[in-house]
A and B are shown apart, each in its own frame.
Chain A
Amino acid sequence: MKISKKVLSNISSLSKIKIEEEIKSDLIKDLESILKMVTEMNKIDTSGIEPMSHPLEDADNLRKDKATKEIKRDEYQKSAPQTDDGFYLTPKVIE
């Protein structure tokens, strides 16, 4: 399967990763080789096999519904680039 520049730019925008022009052709080669491997894997007959979503199917790790009182907002906010009045601030993003 071929990956076009347009598909690459879509992947870049979905993942919010900026791709420099000079690495684009190498990246396309890499992605195409990954897809080739996936195509190989798709040849395996998996009919009748239940898909496995997780290797640990029987682990029971539920939590009781209890709330903590230990929310250390001011401490957490120390690692944020910009905060004010308890808010986290980001560049303006309006959908």
Chain B
Amino acid sequence: MNNTWESVIGLEVHVQLSTESKIFSNAPTKFGQTQNSQASLVDLGLPGVLPVLNEKTIEMAIKFGCAINANISSKAIFARKNYFYPDLPKGYQISQLDDPIVGEGKISIEVDNEEKFIGITRAHLEEDAGKSLHDRYENLSAIDLNRAGTPLLEIVSEPDLRSAKEAVAYLKKIHSIITFLEISDGNMSQGSMRCDANVSIRKYGEKEFGNRTELKNINSFRFVEKAINYEIDRQIEIVENGGSIDQETRLYDANKNETRSMRSKEHANDYRYFPDPDLVPVIISKEKIQEIQKTLPELPEQKISRFIKDYKISEYESKNLNVSKELSSFFEKVAKKISSPELAAKWILGDLMAILNKNNSEIQDSKISSEDMIDLLSRLEEGSISGPGAKKIIDLCWLSNESIDVLIKKEGFDEVKGEDELLEIITRIIRDNSKQFEQYLNGKDKLFGFFVGQVMKETKGNADPKLVNELLNKKLKQ
């Protein structure tokens, strides 16, 4: 933290809408297909072709607008943003300038237990460009236009964010809204959500903004935080050494954790926007908006309060379970099938999350299904497996394809010792360790732990540690 300088951040988030076909052509939008197998004549920008707007993109944009209580434009106009680059064969990108489909709105974020509202300037529809590969051929660029024409919703925030941490919280909030609305899969590693950050600094108390730099193409939550923090430090150092900040675009290099200048000022972009004569304005009626409003699914905030009420879990747990739609519905499936939803929350956020994080996986790629979790937690509830046993089963389940029941049998975790059996074991252990028992009776209290260890060893962990403590206490003091 720096006490002199305040950072001012605004984000532009590009969200890939999960439609079947592209925004202006009927080519499919599948990810990871053979090069140019998803590029139609429209995407190739051949002469004489005409764009025809995909109605689903309009509906998805309106959904987002409704979810953030934004003004929805009654008329959406598409414009040409002109620039030349090989992965944009038309020589312009169809985007929106005036009359974007979604106008001003706001989003609440929470950082360090404080709620803060971040203004949304606008959200507009546009088409994505293709991809250029520069290192495949020596003197040539290889162009894959599969991504060209994929629908994007660009969400532009006000410069209301004041730290990299707030920027991450904002981005996570956008991610949860778009995934709960099911308008995007939000998969950052596949580029379904990308982010540019506008960063500047000023002295605390100043009203004027400093010159800002734009950081391009940041593709993970972690990199957003690192890239912004790097940039803030870079700017502070320049200004404190008497320099000034150039308004420029900088690229974040995740490998080196640094930002570097991308375009020089001499070639400042001039996009010469104008309304695209190929596309008529889209008229959006109030009825249409109301109709879509009615179909809005339950959003993260509503789910958070409902989970607290219905499942009696804590606010903290509910918030963490509702970071993504997938995690939220995973929890609900499990919570509905076992007697204690609190137990489900505890185990999903605890041991399941731990193993997901360890394997760098998201809940949707979890090798432990909700059915596995139901089986395991039911066994735990009926007492036919111990807590430590269940922990081990989670680890084993991740590595094998066997069902929970098979794993429990195989590992012998189903032989949880009852009270009588445990008493027998304890009596035997005390007899076999008479020396330690004597020392314990003579005041060496520390040896209690030794006896617990012996019992757990003897039962291979298939005992309820609480019960073992209780019984040992009784027996040793007899």
Instruction: Using CB atoms and an 8 Å cutoff, list the residues of chain A in contact with chain B.
Output: 10, 13-14, 16, 53-54, 56-69, 71, 73, 76-77, 82, 84-95
| Chain A nearest CB, measured from B332 CB (Å) | 29
Residues of A within 8 A of B267 (CB): 13
Checking A62, A73, A91 against B282 with a beta-carbon cut-off of 8 angstroms, the contacting residue is A62
Interface centre among A57, A67, A76 (most CB of B within 10 A): A67
The distance in angstroms between the C-alpha atoms of A13 and B84, with both chains bound, is 10
CB nearest neighbor in B for A90 = B86
A66, A71, A84, A85: residue with the most chain B Cβ atoms closer than 10 Å: A71
State whether B142 touches A89 (Cβ < 8 A).
yes
Given contacts A58-B283, A87-B144, whether A73 and B28 have CB atoms under 8 Å apart is no
- Chain A: which residue is nearest B249 at the CB level? A95
Q: Is the CB of B40 within 8 A of A93?
A: no
A79 to B: closest C-beta gap in Å: 8
Task: Tell me the smallest distance from the CB of B41 to a CB of chain A, in Å.
Answer: 7
In the complex, B145 has a CB within 8 A of chain A: yes
Nearest CB of chain B from residue A77's CB, rounded to whole Å: 7
Contact residues, B27-65 vs A (CB, 8 A): 27-29, 34-41, 44, 46, 52-56, 58
**A residues near B132, Cβ cutoff 8 Å:** 93
State whether A62 touches B281 (Cβ < 8 A): no
Residues from chain A with a CB closer than 8 A to the CB of B36 are: 73, 76-77, 86-88
Complex contacts, B239 vs chain A, CB 8 Å: none
Partner of B53, one of A62, A73, A85, A93: A62
Pairwise interchain contact B39-A87, C-beta atoms closer than 8 A: no
With known contacts A87-B142, A91-B141, A67–B27 Cβ distance under 8 A: yes
Q: B residues bordering A, Cβ < 8 Å? A: 19-21, 26-29, 34-41, 44, 46, 52-56, 58, 77, 82, 84-86, 91, 132-134, 136-137, 139-145, 262-263, 267, 270, 272, 275, 277, 279-283
> What's the nearest-Cβ distance from chain A to residue B109, in Å?
32
Inter-chain contacts of B21 with A (CB < 8 A): 63, 65-68
B144 CB to closest chain A CB, in angstroms? 6
Residues of B within 8 A of A93 (CB): 85-86, 132, 141
In the complex, residue of chain A having the shortest beta-carbon distance to the beta carbon of B132: A93
**Chain B neighbourhood of A94, CB < 8 A:** 134, 141
The one of A77, A88, A95 in contact with B142, judged by C-beta atoms closer than 8 angstroms, is A88
From the candidates B28, B38, B55, B140, name the one contacting A90 in the complex (CB within 8 A): B140
Q: List 20 A-B contacts (CB under 8 A).
A: A10-B270, A14-B82, A16-B84, A54-B281, A63-B21, A63-B52, A64-B56, A67-B20, A67-B27, A67-B28, A73-B39, A76-B39, A76-B41, A84-B137, A86-B35, A87-B36, A88-B145, A90-B140, A92-B141, A94-B134
Determine if A63 and B134 form an interchain contact, defined as CB atoms under 8 angstroms apart.
no
**Bound: A13/B269 CA distance, A:** 11
A-B CB pair tally, cutoff 8 Å: 123
Contact of A63 among B54, B141, B263 (CB under 8 A): B54
Given A65-B21, A90-B86: A54 in contact with B280 (beta carbons within 8 A): yes
* B276 to A: closest C-beta gap in Å: 9
Which chain B residue shows the least CB distance to A14? B270
Known: A57-B283, A67-B27, A92-B134. A86 touches B58 (CB 8 A): no
CA distance A10 to B141 in the complex (A): 25
Q: Which of A16, A59, A63, A64 has the most CB of B within 10 A?
A: A63
Chain A minimum-CB-distance residue to B145: A88
In the bound assembly, the distance between CA atoms of A83 and B427 in angstroms comes to 82
Q: List residues of chain B with CB within 8 A of the CB of A82.
A: 140
Tell whether, in the assembled complex, residue A87 and residue B54 are in contact, meaning their CB atoms are under 8 Å apart.
no
- With A and B bound together, what is the CA distance between A85 and B173 in angstroms? 41
- How far is B36's CA from A85's CA once the two chains are assembled, in angstroms? 10
Please name 5 further chain A to chain B contacts, defined as beta carbons within 8 Å, in addition to the given A53-B275, A54-B77, A68-B28, sorted by A numbering.
Answer: A62-B58, A84-B137, A86-B37, A90-B140, A90-B143
Distance in Å from the Cβ of B48 to the closest Cβ of chain A?
13
- B270 in contact with A61 (CB, 8 Å): no
Q: Is the CB of B40 within 8 A of A71?
A: yes
Known A-B contacts A16-B84, A68-B26, A73-B39; the reply to A61 vs B77 at CB < 8 A is: no
A74–B281 Cα distance when bound, in Å, is 35
Which are the 6 A-B pairs with shortest beta-carbon distances?
Answer: A62-B55, A67-B28, A53-B275, A87-B142, A65-B56, A67-B21
Contact at B280–A61, with CB atoms within 8 Å? yes
Q: Is the CB of A68 within 8 A of B142?
A: no
Q: Which residues of B contact A95 (CB under 8 A)?
A: 85, 262-263
Q: A59–B217 Cα gap in the complex (Å)?
A: 37
A76 to B41 CA separation, bound complex (whole angstroms): 8
Could you tell me if B142 and A57 are in contact, using CB atoms closer than 8 angstroms? no
CA separation between A77 and B39, bound complex, in Å?
Answer: 11
Neighbouring A residues of B145 by C-beta, 8 Å: 88
Contact between B26 and A57, CB atoms less than 8 A apart:
no
Report A-chain residues with C-beta under 8 Å of the C-beta of B37. 71, 73, 86
